[in-house]
């Protein structure tokens, strides 16, 4: 996962900043729990008890609003995942497990409908894919640490990372869910177990 450079979410200065922040957080909660493809701006305004004009103060269109929500979610999730990783000072296996389980924990509260809608909306899907590839690179770094420390088998790191990346992309593209019925968070937890059993000496 990676913190994107996009400026998203409500601006934090000026009149009404607290209200905009509260509204945007409520929007994030709504879309991640219920999805967004079936909701119009009128629906969102009604559910959030605000005017469409207020929503236009957050973004110029529903599409931009949805993308902003997805970017914002992954930005916040990345901060929490990296915090969990930084708190794990154990061996490489423990750090790798901490990272993947933190990713799974961040994805767990999201609804299947949200994931389906993200997969079907290219701007949001691109954001998820960027974060997936960033997460795969982070896993590669953690494997390299473990190999260098002699804790993991002397695997071909680039190959291992490519395999892991492929699985992560399949999770992101909903292919693992279709093939196994596993939610994204469950798939990440399973991936963590497979990796740890396969890499440990």
Same domain, 36 and 104: no
Note whether residue 7 is domain-resident.
Answer: no
Mean pLDDT of 53-62: 91
Confidence of residue 4 (pLDDT cuts 50, 70, 90): very low
Residue 200: strand pairing partners: 152
Same domain, 72 and 92: yes
Same domain, 104 and 191: yes
Same domain, 173 and 82: yes
Q: Specify the CATH number for the domain of residue 60.
A: 1.10.10.60
The C-alpha angle with vertex 80 and arms to 90 and 32, in degrees rounded to 5, equals 140
Asked whether the predicted pLDDT for residue 5 surpasses 50, the reply is: no
Note whether residue 85 is domain-resident.
Answer: yes
Same domain, 150 and 60: no
Note whether residue 173 is domain-resident.
Answer: yes
Tell me how far apart the alpha carbons of residues 56 and 92 are, in angstroms, rounded to a whole number.
46
* CA 65 from centroid of its chain's CA atoms: 17
Q: In this structure, are residues 61 and 71 in contact, taking their beta carbons and an 8 Å threshold? A: no
Same domain, 99 and 156: yes
Q: Specify the CATH number for the domain of residue 124.
A: 1.10.357.10
* pTM for the model: 0.81
Each residue's pLDDT tens digit, 58-87: 999 999 999 999 999 999 999 999 999 999
- Structural domain count, the chain: 2
Sequence-separated (6 or more) residues with CB below 8 Å from residue 93: 146, 151, 152, 196, 199, 200
Same domain, 50 and 92: no
Q: Residue 52 sits in which domain range?
A: 17-64
Q: In this structure, are residues 55 and 36 in contact, taking their beta carbons and an 8 Å threshold? A: no
């Amino acid at each position: 996962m990676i913190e994107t450079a996009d400026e998203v979410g409500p601006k934090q200065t000026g009149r009404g900043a607290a209200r905009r922040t509260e509204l945007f957080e409520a929007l994030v909660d709504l879309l991640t729990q219920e999805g967004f493809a079936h909701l119009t701006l009128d629906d969102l305004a009604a559910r959030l008890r605000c005017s469409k004009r207020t929503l236009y103060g957050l973004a110029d269109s529903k599409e931009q609003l949805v993308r902003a929500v997805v970017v914002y979610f992954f930005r916040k999730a990345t901060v929490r995942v990296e915090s969990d990783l930084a708190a794990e000072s154990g061996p490489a296996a423990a750090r790798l497990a901490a990272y993947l389980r933190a990713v799974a924990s961040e994805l767990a509260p999201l609804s299947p409908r949200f994931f389906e809608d993200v997969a079907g909306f290219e701007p949001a899907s691109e954001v998820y894919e960027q974060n997936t590839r960033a997460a795969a690179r982070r896993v590669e770094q953690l494997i390299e640490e473990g190999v260098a420390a002699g804790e993991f088998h002397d695997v071909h790191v680039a190959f291992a990372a490519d395999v892991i990346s492929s699985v992560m992309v399949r999770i992101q593209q909903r292919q693992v869910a279709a093939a196994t019925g596993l939610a994204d968070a469950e798939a990440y937890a399973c991936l963590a177990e497979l990796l740890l059993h396969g890499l440990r000496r």
